[in-house]
Amino acid sequence: MREKRITTGNEVLDSMLGGGFLPGQMVVIAGPAGSGKTISALQFIHANLTEGRRCLFISASDSEESIITNSFRFGWDLKQFIDKNLLTIASIKLADALPTLSPDILSAGGLYSSSLEELPKVIKNSKAEIIAIDSITEFNDVCTSELERRTRILNLRRIISEIGATALLVAEVSPDGITTKYGIAEYVADGLILLSRYHTEELSHYLHTIQIIKMRWIPHSREIRVYDITDKGLSIRSPLYTTLASGGKLR
């Protein structure tokens, strides 16, 4: 009997995973600025909304209105799902906390605990089956120590597991381009999907690439594939080696 999978919102990525995410997995999608991480998260949310699942989208930088407006540009009408109580958009504004200030001072000023503690509360109260957080890096940025970052993301993992949700966490990559900033999220999560840029040999242009670096319990493709950011979201194309062999043309 074939096990039920959770769609990523992208048919090619689902195929690379042998059908999609396993229910209850927490997966990180990481990449540089402009690589389509937020679009991927919204694509994931919209696809699962259309399958009737209750979803939660958490943003640390965009308002609900902005998310709805920008999603509509890709043909994703999120408002209808909000009206049906299938979608909750939570905009959690994080303070630009200065690392020289102690947690006590930040908390007293309403800049520390009030924002960081809201994240687990929103998740607990959501009863969501599908969760996307954009981005976990911004929540980690507000933490004042490595210990706090690890503690909070482990607690986040525990809460997501307790409510039985499948989650996609957006993360920024570190300068090396192959790990997440702080290097915590990918070790706690079940999977890591890496978005990168491949510069052509003559450096005249670059290609967007996607690769599944890690995915627990799922035999998966290890191909590096090329993708475009289109008006319908991320469109994954041919393997990188095929694209380069054809002179950089996408197929």
In a domain, 132, yes or no: yes
pLDDT at 110 over 50: no
Domain encompassing residue 157:
11-245
Report angle CA 85, 75, 173 to the nearest 5 degrees. 90
**Rg of the chain, C-alpha, whole Å:** 18
pLDDT at 91 over 90: yes
In a domain, 226, yes or no: yes
26-31 β-sheet, strand order: 87-91, 55-59, 130-134, 166-172, 26-31, 191-199, 206-215, 225-230, 233-239
- Look up the CATH number of the domain holding residue 47: 3.40.50.300
**Rounded CA separation 130/160 (Å):** 10
pTM, two decimals, is 0.88
Query: pLDDT confidence of 113, banded at 50, 70, 90?
Result: very low
Query: pLDDT confidence of 99, banded at 50, 70, 90?
Result: very low
Q: What confidence score (pLDDT) does residue 104 get?
A: 53
Number of folded domains in the chain?
1
In a domain, 161, yes or no: yes
- Exposure b/e, 77-87, CB count within 10 A at least 16 = b: ebeebeeeebb
